[in-house]
Structure 1
């Protein structure tokens, strides 16, 4: 006889999906942890096994997300700072397959509706920029150069993301990223 797991299968995924649906329907402030748990078919206690608060249902993949960038940077054959950053950004782009576009659009709409969520999203971007900068320093790039390259890369990535989730956009994320990087390079011919 197969033993059932202690927590429902993919409770984390169901909680994240329920949170997005409820935040979209009612607004972030009008939704409670209890609402999210009930919609996902779990208890509030189960919710707190995965997330510290309802905001984290939108931001819970920080370590996984950053690792895509940092691992790509660490394994890059490049030697120049911006080439290293570009390789890191291409690694991060894999987090956004086409099937995730509608989810990303909904998530971003929720975030922009709340100053507290905008602040949390900004902290997420700062942590990524710091991780990229540290990765560049570990590759021998001087700290100030690393900080500037990482910050420039973050700006290009943010532009690519905004383009990718724009209504009517249907190009893959990687194409949006290439366009943003080309624009960044064009600033200093």
Structure 2
């Protein structure tokens, strides 16, 4: 009889512990959809709008990253006074986490291609999403004079290179291995 009580007590304890672990696991995945993809996040356009409203400037790059279990937008803006500003924005709430201001006077010698850019990053993103509708994961002007745009389309990542003068797609690659 004593063994039966001990066995029932042990089983009850394991069930309670298992339920607590399951509930904790469920709460840790609320901001992630199937296959670990972001769910219910603000758009890159909204993140850009928040950043520009806060500090001004033009979008130089935007990237969706996961930090400490939360999704954030890492945004780089360039102001007319050549001040580079990096911001981190919580991708779920839209709250600004960090603002880092830097003097924009670089000592590196940029190629003349970068100085001939005629379309904005927003225009390059529009060209990419017009061709392939999806959620922008990362977008930036490459040192070689073209925009690199990475989109999430369903369960796939699509990477594009957009000419910074014509806005035409130079290269498009789909990565279907997202495990």
Question: Taking structure 2 as the reference length, what is the TM-score of the superposition?
Answer: 0.23
Query: Which one has a larger percent helix, Structure 1 or Structure 2?
Result: 1
Question: Taking structure 1 as the reference length, what is the TM-score of the superposition?
Answer: 0.22
Q: Which has the larger radius of gyration?
A: 2
Query: Which one has a larger percent strand, Structure 1 or Structure 2?
Result: 2
